[in-house]
Every structure is written in C-alpha cells, then in structure tokens.
C-alpha cells in the first residue's frame, strides 16, 4: 500500500519537474541585480566642520571675485590686502570673522556675507601691538550696519584695554539704509567709543575711498587723518543731494 502511494506521488511530481527544468536559470536568480546603496550615516561633527570651512572661505572672498576685480580696476586694494600690507607678516589675528547682519527686511536674509563688510583684529606693526579695522567696499559698499558697528566698537575697546593705537581704514558709502535707525544707532556707538578713547590711545584714520554720510564723523574725531590722492572723498552729503536741494553742481573734490 505504501509503495503504491509513493509511486503515485512520484508520477505527479515528474511533470512539474520537467516543466521547471525548461525555465531559464536567470528567471530564478538575476545576474543583473544592483546591490542596495549603503546606509547614509550622518556625522554631525563632519557636517559642522564642512559648514565652518565654507563660511570661512566666504568671509575671505568678501563680495566675490567680480567685485574684487572692480576694486582693483579702480586702483584700490581690498580690505584684506590693505591689512596684509599694514601689519607685520603673520601677526594679524582677526576677530568675529563670521559675524553677519541681523536684518530681516528688504530681502537681506538672502544676502548674508560672513564678516558683514568690515575686518577687525590686532597684530603688530614694526613689532608694536596695534588694533585695526578695515571696511570692505566689496560687501554692501562698506556700509555700516548694526553688527558692523559692533565689530568696530569691540576692537576699539580692546585697543583701550591693552593701550594700543587703533587704526581705521575707511572705505564706506555710509549707513546701510536697509537697517534704518539700527544703522544710525551703530554710528552713535562708534562715536561714543571715539570720545572715550580720545586722549587715552592714539586714533588714526586712513580714508582709502569714499567716506560719506555718517562715515565722515568718526574720522573727524580721531587724532590723525590720511587720505589717498585721487580716490579718497569725505562729505556729509554727495553731489547729487546738493544739486537736488540747492541746484548747485559740485564735484566730490569740491565738497
């Protein structure tokens, strides 16, 4: 009885075996199977280092290669190039390199540049400690914002603390109008620092380009002012404003 059952099962399996033998091998095991991608491992430290390096590079580039080229075409150096000439080799130490503005109006959040248009720091000149700030005309025309002013005030406080001269390399179009009264309040803070440092440490202003509007007052309160022939201008209101108000046509040199 048992042998008959086994014979019956064998006869029922043989057709299925013959059918399976006719199916190509690759129908069971595809030789073109792509292995799954490896799992992505998020490393927060690596992501932070990558972002930090990117921000530092942006700070070094300022307003970008095109604006730097325009600066050179005008016969002017960039803010960093000026500092490299002023300070002893490898002595300059920058502060707040990645600080940017906090303005949320007029599309400003999409145009944040680390450094915010001014480079501040300390180093040595002929072996003596000196503090300095250098306005970057390639970033928003060197205009002064709230954080821009905070950086200048910080380096002036450091100059008073260590009894070192403070040198300002001015190249600015004035207040950053997008920030309104915050920018004007920043000028007030800088002027107060000029007053506090007066008679305490030497204050030296180098006017390397335009120095208009609120940017005029701070150099006027310093001990020494040096200007570059042909590219430096100091005035409270520009020729266009004078012509609009009085009808008189004047040049930057006349002002």
More confident call, 30 vs 129: 129
Task: Note the pTM of the prediction, 2 decimals.
Answer: 0.78
- Distance of alpha carbon 214 from the chain centroid: 23
| Alpha carbon distances (Å) from 194 to 21, 116, 187, 207, 213 | 95, 21, 11, 16, 17
Q: Which residues partner with 123 through β-bridges?
A: 130
pLDDT value at residue 16:
47
In the predicted structure, residue 176 carries a pLDDT above the cut 80:
yes
Share of the chain above pLDDT 90, in %: 51
| pLDDT-wise least confident of 18-32, 82-96, 152-166, 212-226 | 18-32
Band of residue 109 on the pLDDT scale cut at 50, 70, 90: confident
Each residue's pLDDT tens digit, 37-87 = 777 777 888 888 888 998 999 898 888 899 999 999 988 999 999 999 999
169's CB contacts (< 8 A; 6+ apart) are 79, 82, 83, 86, 132, 133, 134, 135, 206, 208
pLDDT value at residue 3:
52
pLDDT value at residue 198:
95
pLDDT value at residue 2:
43
Mean pLDDT of 115-136: 96
Each residue's pLDDT tens digit, 237-253 = 777 777 778 878 887 77
| pLDDT-wise least confident of 3-12, 50-59, 102-111, 164-173 | 3-12
In the predicted structure, residue 28 carries a pLDDT above the cut 50:
no
Average pLDDT, the chain: 85
CB-count exposure of residue 193 (10 Å: 0-12, 13-18, 19+): buried
Find, among 189, 184, 161, 163, the residue nearest to 174 by Cα.
Answer: 184
pLDDT value at residue 254:
72
pLDDT value at residue 5:
53
Residues 118, 146: contact at Cβ < 8 Å? no
Residue 158 CB neighbour total at 10 angstroms: 17
pLDDT value at residue 132:
97
pLDDT value at residue 37:
74
In the predicted structure, residue 25 carries a pLDDT above the cut 60:
no
């Amino acid at each position: 009885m048992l042998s008959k059952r086994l014979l019956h099962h064998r006869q029922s399996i043989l057709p299925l075996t013959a059918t399976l033998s006719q199916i190509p091998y690759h129908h069971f095991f595809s030789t073109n199977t792509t292995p799954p991608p490896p799992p992505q491992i998020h490393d927060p430290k690596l992501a932070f280092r990558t972002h930090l390096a990117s921000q530092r590079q942006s700070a070094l580039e300022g307003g970008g290669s095109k604006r730097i080229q325009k600066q050179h075409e005008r016969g002017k150096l960039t803010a960093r190039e000026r500092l490299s000439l002023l300070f002893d080799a490898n002595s300059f130490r920058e502060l707040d390199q990645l600080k940017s503005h906090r303005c949320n109006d007029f599309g400003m959040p999409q145009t944040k540049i680390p450094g915010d248009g001014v480079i501040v720091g300390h180093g040595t000149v002929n072996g003596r400690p000196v503090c300095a700030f250098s306005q970057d005309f390639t970033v928003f025309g060197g205009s002064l914002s709230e954080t821009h002013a905070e950086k200048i005030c910080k380096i002036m406080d450091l100059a008073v603390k260590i009894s070192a001269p403070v040198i300002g390399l001015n190249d600015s179009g004035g207040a950053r109008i997008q920030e309104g009264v915050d920018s004007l309040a920043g000028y007030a803070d800088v002027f107060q620092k000029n007053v506090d440092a007066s008679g305490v440490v030497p204050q030296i202003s180098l006017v390397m380009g335009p120095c208009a509007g609120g940017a005029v007052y701070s150099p006027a309160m310093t001990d020494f002012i040096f200007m570059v022939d042909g590219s430096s201008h100091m005035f409270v209101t520009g020729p266009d404003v004078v012509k609009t108000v009085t009808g008189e046509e004047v040049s930057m040199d006349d002002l």
